[in-house]
Structure 1
Amino acid sequence: MHDFDIAIRGGTIVTASDSYRADVGIRAGKIVAVAERLTSAAKTIDASGLLVMPGGIDSHVHLAQPAFGGPMMADGFETGTRSALAGGNTTVIPFALQPRGQSLRAAVTDYHREADGISLCDYGFHLIITDPTPSVVQQELPSLVGDGYSSFKVFMTYDDLVLNDRQLLEVFSAARRCQALVMVHCEGYDAIKFLTEKLEQEGKKAPYYHAVSRPEVVEREATHRAISHGELIDVPIMVVHVSGRQAMEQIRWAQQKGLKVYGETCPQYIALTADDMKGLNMDESGGKYVCSPPPRDHAAWDAIWEGLTGGVFQTFSSDHCPFFYEGSQGKKNPKARTSFKWVPNGIPGVETRLPILFSKGVAEGRITASEFVALTSTNHAKMYGLYPEKGSIGVGFDADLVLWDPKRKEVLRQEIMHHGADYIPYEGMQVTGFPVMTLLRGEIAMEEGKVLAQPGQGRFLKRRISPYALPASGRAAASAA
């Protein structure tokens, strides 16, 4: 009789707080021992020369999302979660989107049909509220939070998603009542519409002008407005996919003031620039890089690193939003060639998130391996109600682990990816540090680039209310009473 199902031996364990040499013992999908030397295991994995880290948690991905008559998304749960595992991730949190005029609860039920029995890794759902009717905010939302959907996202732009200021205040108030964490996409809708129409009138329709139509000031203004609404209601907010200095400094200002405002950023904001959208002589190939907010410039990269190293950003997510490049559903579809505003908006990235941050962060000396773990796993688990089952290495945690070769050099390219999209925006980028094995609840889910997990192996995760969602003060805001 063996003490452990699996012993991972000889590796360097890295958590958000520490790094040390130890073995990990796994039994029944859980970590049951962390010790200097473990033997008596049914299976031994040699991790000599490798880092043993908690599996990545990507808390901002889009999978199998309805297109509202637009292009089809390139990843459902099968290909999207296969790609996640290949990149060293063990949990993803995509979004159950409420179409306008429909029930939020029905949207969640429909989304489960896309995921349950299909996902290869563990998953939870955020909600997206697009139609905050009284029944949605007073009945459906509190009920869903109680059922384990403890966070939701709102948008300050996009025709099909935007909420006006009054609606934002209503949903912020509802979030305060039921202690849900609010994620906010901060870009000013009217300013973008105005700039887009002006650019089109001037004949500036190539993909590059997507960035011109959404300058940093538009993101800054919306970020400040979201922070102000959150302060008025006394509710924490998470500002997602921050692209540069101006929005980052708004969040830092709020944090220094003592407001519970959190920040998230993504690989595209340390690895791409707006110039990538120029393509070849302003042709449509620049559409490969169209996402919102758009990548900025090299000075913005410096600002993002300032936010990452200075504690402004709690999480580093992919905002994986995959579309095809070729074909009638792709970024080169006939309608997209008439204006940048029709280019499918989003880029794939769940599989490349960890290698890009490790390479540019740890390998290049900007952050420590422990900071990497915090930004890619532990903080996600704590922020979104998955801790202490997920997000660290210790007795009692799920055995969600990634074995990482910190010295391995790899060139990112489409041919080694596992997603459904037909391109990656990081083609040809060399990285240092790469996952060699991913374990999901003690099962080897990926080894040397081959995904071994099967559809349905991933479990749905009911998430508890996060301490990050609790108001900063005890006062009862009038609009939240």
Structure 2
Amino acid sequence: MTFDLVVRGGEVVTAQGRFMADIAVTDGKITAIGTGLEGQRVLDATGRMVMPGGVDPHCHIEQMSGMGQMNADTFETATRSAAMGGTTSVISFAAQHKGMRMRDVVADYSARAARGALVDYAFHMIASDVEAPDFADDLAAMIDAGHRSIKLFTTYNIAVSDRAILDVMTIAKARGALVCVHAENDGLIGWTKDRLIVAGRTEPAAHALSHPRLAEVEAVERMCRFAEFLDQPVMLFHISTVEGAAAVRAARGRGVPVWAETCPHYLFMEETVLDHPDGGKWMCSPPQRQTADQAALWQALRLGDLQVVSSDHAPYRYDETGKLSQGADAPFHKISNGLPGLEVRQPLMFDAMVSHGTLGPEKFVEVTSTAPAALYGLENKGALDPGKDADIVIWDPTRSHTYGADDLHDNVGYNPWDGRRVTGWPETVLLRGEVIVSDGACHAAPGSGHFLHRARTGAQPLGTPAREARAVLGD
């Protein structure tokens, strides 16, 4: 049999193992894995590692922040950057603001992505106004339409109350959706921030102090208890501390349906990066922490307490249109938070996990592709299995690259990893069997990305809500 395309002679790497094989593609799907396969087109992967396309489930794209600051990236620029870094599927946000109907929010973001996206995409719905018109009905309808994840904040000016969180969790439970939470205690952050400002500590380095590590710990533990009470699956975003990882481990040990992620900037950066004269470039929330936290996060990935590494791509230019919109000497609380990360997530993690042997190539595939696809319900993504979409990345494991000051393909204008050297490079990227990156260039057309309808998620209830919840909900 002759297939449309064969990726020949590479070392195929999955979350379960690695082996030498050819991969055959027909009509955009993986149709066979074996040896001696014949194709109308052949990509020679000799001496290369062949892995599934990256799945980045935490990206802010073409989004207005709670501070009223617009992201630097459009769907076109962000997903071009994703593709160049070996990521073929993203989950971005459809962000509700005060008074907006959720169905209108989703329709707006869907239209923008359909025009611009170069890779496949889905959305988390950010719910920030539960009093908006027809909120509960709209949320249920959007879940049924395949948008099966909701994001909530416990802090900042888009936070929702504990009671509202429980209401949203209840809707999600009834419709089979996953609730994702930015979990930090608002009172601890606000109290600390205000006193730093009064004391004249307004430099970027004070941002780390303004987010006490216990703010993460308290909110993570609270969300775990809410998940436990309702038996509602919860994903805890960007865990950054020893104690946060321990809280997740303890909850999972009790049988609570919680999952959690971390990000490269928590694995590789420390809070001292904010001491730089342009420290605002590296400001993100939660902030980077300390060496002991990095070790704990790696251990949590090793043990499976953390299941996913996402980018938390939050792109703002370092100029008057972005982070410096309030002036070059703006105090830390008026500098937009976030780092560009879509393009660097995969090479950074490959370098650490594969090239330097930290956890190995199978775990790399698991935490950056297979686990996020499974948890979020991207049923055709994240694995090199017959029947899955032929999203394939051919890695040159020997190629080294040193990042420059502004060498990414997004619209941010700076690279927070300037000067960092990585070994291992995504030289060829296929999306649904089509080569979208080769020879250092992206060949995909804007709007060629597909919306990913999610019929269900892999994060399911365990069937053990609290007695009081069972009485109220009738479970």
- Name the TM-score, length of structure 2 as normaliser: 0.96
Matched to 2:36, the amino acid is R
2:445 counterpart of 1:447: no
Contact in 1 for aligned 2:326/2:334 (Cα 8 Å):
no
Matched to 1:201, the amino acid is V
2:298 counterpart of 1:299: no
Deviates more, 1:150-159 or 1:406-415: 406-415
Residues 306-317 of structure 1 correspond to what in structure 2 (within 5 A)? 306-317=299-310
What is the aligned-residue RMSD (CA, Å)?
A: 1.6
2:470 counterpart of 1:477: yes
2 CA distance for matches of 1:37 and 1:434? 26
Residues 360-371 of structure 1 correspond to what in structure 2 (within 5 A)? 360-371=352-363
1 CA distance for matches of 2:187 and 2:213? 14
1 CA distance for matches of 2:248 and 2:473? 23
Using the TM superposition, give the Cα deviation of residue 467 of structure 1 relative to its aligned residue in structure 2, in angstroms: 3.3
2:18 equivalent in structure 1 = 19
1 CA distance for matches of 2:78 and 2:387? 28
1:92 equivalent in structure 2 = 90
2:3 equivalent in structure 1 = 4
Deviations along 1:392-412, one digit per CA (max 9) or x if unpaired, are 112111100110112211112
Contact in 1 for aligned 2:185/2:219 (Cα 8 Å):
yes
2:41 equivalent in structure 1 = 43
Deviations along 1:104-131, one digit per CA (max 9) or x if unpaired, are 1110011112111210000011111111
Q: 2:395 aligns with which of 382, 390, 404?
A: 404
Matched to 1:344, the amino acid is S
Using the TM superposition, give the Cα deviation of residue 163 of structure 1 relative to its aligned residue in structure 2, in angstroms: 0.9
Using the TM superposition, give the Cα deviation of residue 422 of structure 1 relative to its aligned residue in structure 2, in angstroms: 0.8
2:110 equivalent in structure 1 = 112
1:170 equivalent in structure 2 = 167
Matched to 1:108, the amino acid is V
Contact in 1 for aligned 2:76/2:116 (Cα 8 Å):
yes
Using the TM superposition, give the Cα deviation of residue 478 of structure 1 relative to its aligned residue in structure 2, in angstroms: 4.1
Residues 213-228 of structure 1 correspond to what in structure 2 (within 5 A)? 213-228=210-225
1:426 equivalent in structure 2 = 417
Residues 363-382 of structure 1 correspond to what in structure 2 (within 5 A)? 363-382=355-374
Contact in 2 for aligned 1:260/1:472 (Cα 8 Å):
no
Deviations along 1:297-335, one digit per CA (max 9) or x if unpaired, are 111110110111110111110000000012x11323334
The percentage of counterpart residues that share the same residue type is: 38
2:175 counterpart of 1:184: no
Using the TM superposition, give the Cα deviation of residue 268 of structure 1 relative to its aligned residue in structure 2, in angstroms: 0.4
Contact in 2 for aligned 1:232/1:477 (Cα 8 Å):
no
Residues 334-349 of structure 1 correspond to what in structure 2 (within 5 A)? 334-335=326-327, 337-349=329-341
2 CA distance for matches of 1:177 and 1:350? 33
Q: Report the secondary structure of 1:9's partner residue.
A: strand
Contact in 2 for aligned 1:119/1:455 (Cα 8 Å):
yes
Matched to 2:15, the amino acid is A
2 CA distance for matches of 1:140 and 1:169? 17
Number of equivalent positions: 472
Q: Report the secondary structure of 1:109's partner residue.
A: helix
Using the TM superposition, give the Cα deviation of residue 357 of structure 1 relative to its aligned residue in structure 2, in angstroms: 1.0
Deviations along 1:200-220, one digit per CA (max 9) or x if unpaired, are 000000011111000211110
1:462 equivalent in structure 2 = 453
Q: Report the secondary structure of 1:457's partner residue.
A: coil
Q: 1:333 aligns with which of 303, 322, 325?
A: 325
Using the TM superposition, give the Cα deviation of residue 474 of structure 1 relative to its aligned residue in structure 2, in angstroms: 6.8
Q: 1:195 aligns with which of 176, 192, 208?
A: 192
1 CA distance for matches of 2:10 and 2:47? 6
Unaligned runs of 5+ in 2: none
Distance 1:438 1:206, change over 3 A: same
